[in-house]
Structure 1
């Protein structure tokens, strides 16, 4: 009851002490980070306009379906950074990066999280296997690993299947060391997945530059 009253006061008058109240209740302040999509020529393939592509929300295990940033001291142990989180869950983050990147190429008539009509022409289905930092003797290794299928919606045919990995080294295990390494690895991963998707529908990504 007391917590509800104090929360109402915070929302009503925006007291500076509300942040301190959250900390006392065990809700630590964390910095929020967003990963960037790789650079791509805006509309570089616009003349192609091959089809509508739907990027389905990637699947993953429960420990990765979170905004928390995973760091693994060993293969059997999972921890999270105490002072930082992603702006969205890991699956939503990857979905956003793919939508942005493939949309920028302009090869598809529409790229989105849902079809404009009943269904799209193609759907990109994926599963995130790894999206974490692994501690090493000299710092940490960022490891991203995704498997994906490109499916033609008309007859539910898998037209292309692939596995994509990206690794980068971080100088240490502090947040300021890990986030830039995550960003670089994510750009490499998404760029590779985008080129694969383009080839899957018959577009040469080398001709889009």
Structure 2
């Protein structure tokens, strides 16, 4: 028997709205880990432009991995409860995983390529958004859904300048204009990133 959460009619939109923030939020968090060029504190010849690279900031990577793990955990939880393991996005197979009682858990990104990360996150969040009604109103998912949304809200408070979902986030490496969008297969998998301005493509099928 399915138990419906009382007063749950607004929850599907609430969950969808938060899931839609995740792709850009995760990329933004990871960008905080990138080292920046800082002036070298050591004495140097006058007029020198010598710079040194700051150490990698590990905390944002951990924060992104933790949130990504929670997103994937909800997808895995849904597959486990529904028995629909075949419906899980292929993107989950590409992540850093460990064996658990639920077959496996995602504990981080296996790639450092922002385009690959963005495509994978869009894939998994899209899977959840398509099931948002069931996830949001079914009482058996209430705790993991509430915990995930709380984590998304916490991440946005920690990184308040993070943008929301932006379909044209990417700058094309060929024409240098913003206009790169995903190309989807019939099953909903992202096959490539394509520039709407010049037509340049980056395919993922061979990976």
Per the shorter chain, which TM-score range? under 0.3
- The TM-score with structure 2 as length reference comes to 0.24
- Structure number with the bigger relative contact order (C-alpha 8 A, sep ≥ 6) is 2
Bigger proportion of residues as strand: 1
